Amino acid sequence: MPSQHPDQTGPAGERPMQGRPAVPPARPRATPQRPVHHATEQIDLRAAFPPVRHETAQIDLSGGLPGGLPVPPRPRRQGRRLGIDVGTVRVGVALSDPTGTLASPLETVQRARDESDLDRIAALVVEHEVTEVIVGEPRHLSGASGASAKEARAYSRALAGRIGSVPVHLVDERLSTVTAASSLRANGVDSRRQRSVIDQAAAVVILQAYLDAQRERS
């Protein structure tokens, strides 16, 4: 008996699979709408709110923090320090380690009328990336200052003008040369050999005393 349905064939004479869902038609693309611009207006709210006042007060912490808490110590500055022993003929130079703990002899610079000795010390500051320069100020045992102290102050001012923002500090150096000579003798250096290193040794004494004092403060 002939089939009641027409013969439907797909490509190459194949019959389509029964039960396959029909593919929905493609949706038409929506036409993009132009952006709508809304008018804006600046509103001044300064007149609507009262002005804000900030009040500060000074607090005296010289006696410690409130509640008896101690004032925290200042952090120590890191970097090498340069120690200077100013003489009329020579200048002894000492250098610390990067942590500012130990001083060591560095160089003896001859004084010169053209102030080339100051230029040499300024070059050492740059070469070793020095953060502070310590100049010994010789004083009498009574604490009074004389011609040597005046010379040291003038030398420190001249040096400060050559090294920019690196600070220069004057420290009391009473008996630094005597202490240096005693230390050299204790290490077997006789008086003849001391002449070439005594200025550096005095600079070491000056710088080490400063480093120790800074460490005690922190």
pLDDT in tens, 18-48: 556 666 666 667 666 776 666 666 666 566 5
Relative to beta strand 130-137, strand 90-96 is: unpaired
Relative to beta strand 168-172, strand 130-137 is: parallel
Give me the pLDDT at residue 172, please: 84
Question: Which three-class secondary structure state does DSSP give residue 77?
Answer: coil
Identify whether 26 is part of a domain.
Answer: no
Give me the pLDDT at residue 49, please: 56
How is residue 103 annotated by DSSP? E
Give me the pLDDT at residue 182, please: 62
Q: How many domains does the chain have?
A: 1
Largest CA distance in the chain: 142
Distance CA 202, CA 181 (A): 8
Record the tokens describing residue 177, joined without a space.
């040369």
Identify whether 204 is part of a domain.
Answer: yes
Identify whether 86 is part of a domain.
Answer: yes
Relative to beta strand 80-86, strand 103-110 is: unpaired
CATH number at 163 reads 3.30.420.140
Can you name the residues that pair with 169 across neighbouring β-strands? 134
Residue-number span of the structural domain to which 100 is assigned:
80-217
Collect the ranges in the chain with pLDDT lower than 50: 1
Can you name the residues that pair with 130 across neighbouring β-strands? 80
Can you name the residues that pair with 81 across neighbouring β-strands? 132
